Structure 1
Amino acid sequence: MLRRAQAGRISVITVVLVLAACSAAQEPSWKVFPLQRRMPHDGLAVVSQPDGYGLHLFLETNTDDAAECAPRWFPDAARLFNGNGSAPFSAGLAPREEFFAVVRRSDVLQALQAQLKALCQQRAPQARWRWTPPPTDASELMPVQLPAYEQRDLLSDPAEEKRLENQLLDEAQKRSQTTGSASRQ
């Protein structure tokens, strides 16, 4: 009888331990899926926290060379909300450290490659696709070199624009007065 009681306790303890091990909190599985911004393939959602928070990576292409299309990396990702829900959305900025951590993951890199290749095919179908890996550290960041503004791109002086407008209106009014008086004669 005593042995049976001890065996019963051991089996109960074993069952409790097995159940506790099965119900222990597990690491959240990361979820990666396309999340469009303006056009297909221009965004990637990475759910990195169990409550649906994560990053919304904005994907851009570099087509400075018309024969080649490559990724253009922006490490300033938006904060993803409701990533596990039916209507995920993003707002604000996430820290760059999170971006660097996310792009080190192989599943994220594979999704980035697929989305960026599709985006390049959409934006520059004749260009050759070239993969360049994302920066994984702040020291690897290179600022985007934008072209210098040309004179034609700059706004003119508003006072000068108003003066030219008045001059054109005055000339048009004088012409109509001259034409009108000539027709009355």
Structure 2
Amino acid sequence: MVILRQTPALLVSDRVRRRALVMGFPGLALALVLMGCSARTGPSWKVFPLSRRSPHDGLAVVSQPDGFGLHLFLETDTSDPERCEPRWFPDAARLFNGNGTAPFSAGLAPRDEFFAVVRRKEVRAALQNELKALCAQRAPQARWQWTDPPTQASEVIPVLLPAYEGEDLLTDPAEEQQREKALLGES
């Protein structure tokens, strides 16, 4: 009883204090340990902008306990100058320290995790806000058009990149060596 009265910093309820007095010091220690174990163990589902290179081009989603989650890379499709819409990349980076002061990402997260995250209403709302702002930044004259993200592997549309032109390709090393020898006068 003397210990409880001497330490006012311990904010112990009357009920816990009475039980501790009945059970003695071991009871008090057990009560304090159990009160400290009541922390939430599930994910916080915190969603916040986390830029990569420019504002609005990344979104962090804390989908696991201890601040782990996904760092979604946001891109826009401005191939049509009249329209700006999202370009979906289901290969998100792994988010670390999402509940801390300096979140960062590295590596890749499984695609199934991306699909599960984009099914959540609050994540979609944040995606719409960030992508709309990204479109306004990249193509202010274009009309914003929302397209839903893929929620399963069969809905993923691979991004078609422009084909390489002949001048972009490397020459055959053997041919290049023959040209060098011809220029230097070696046979």
Q: Which segments of structure 1 move beyond 2 Å, counting only runs of 4 or more?
A: 23-29, 155-170
Q: How does 1:58-137 map to 2 (within 5 A)?
A: 58-137=73-152
Q: 2: CA distance between counterparts of 1:84 and 1:121?
A: 29
Q: Which 5+ residue runs of structure 2 have no aligned equivalent?
A: 1-14, 20-33
Q: 2: CA distance between counterparts of 1:156 and 1:39?
A: 36
Q: Percent identity?
A: 74
Closer/same/farther in 2, CA of residues 43 and 133 from structure 1, 3 Å limit: same
Q: CA deviation at 1:164?
A: 5.8
Q: Answer with 1 or 2: which has the greater Rg.
A: 1
| Secondary structure in 2 matching 1:143 | coil
TM-score (norm: length of structure 1): 0.73
Q: 1: CA distance between counterparts of 2:136 and 2:40?
A: 42
Alignment match, 1:179: none
TM-score (norm: length of structure 2): 0.72
Q: CA deviation at 1:28?
A: 3.5
Alignment match, 1:38: 53
| Secondary structure in 1 matching 2:119 | coil
Q: What is the aligned-residue RMSD (CA, Å)?
A: 2.7
Q: CA deviation at 1:119?
A: 0.9
User: 2:69, 2:98 within 8 Å by CA — same for their partners in 1?
Assistant: yes
Q: Which 5+ residue runs of structure 1 have no aligned equivalent?
A: 1-11, 171-185
Q: CA deviation at 1:125?
A: 1.4
Closer/same/farther in 2, CA of residues 160 and 126 from structure 1, 3 Å limit: farther
Q: 2: CA distance between counterparts of 1:166 and 1:68?
A: 53
| Secondary structure in 1 matching 2:48 | strand
Give deviations 1:35-82, integer Å, cap 9, x for gaps.
Answer: 111111111000112200000001111111111111000101110001
Q: CA deviation at 1:145?
A: 1.7
Counterpart amino acid of residue 89 in structure 1: F
| Secondary structure in 1 matching 2:67 | coil
Q: 1: CA distance between counterparts of 2:102 and 2:65?
A: 16
Closer/same/farther in 2, CA of residues 140 and 89 from structure 1, 3 Å limit: same
1:141 aligns with 2:124: no
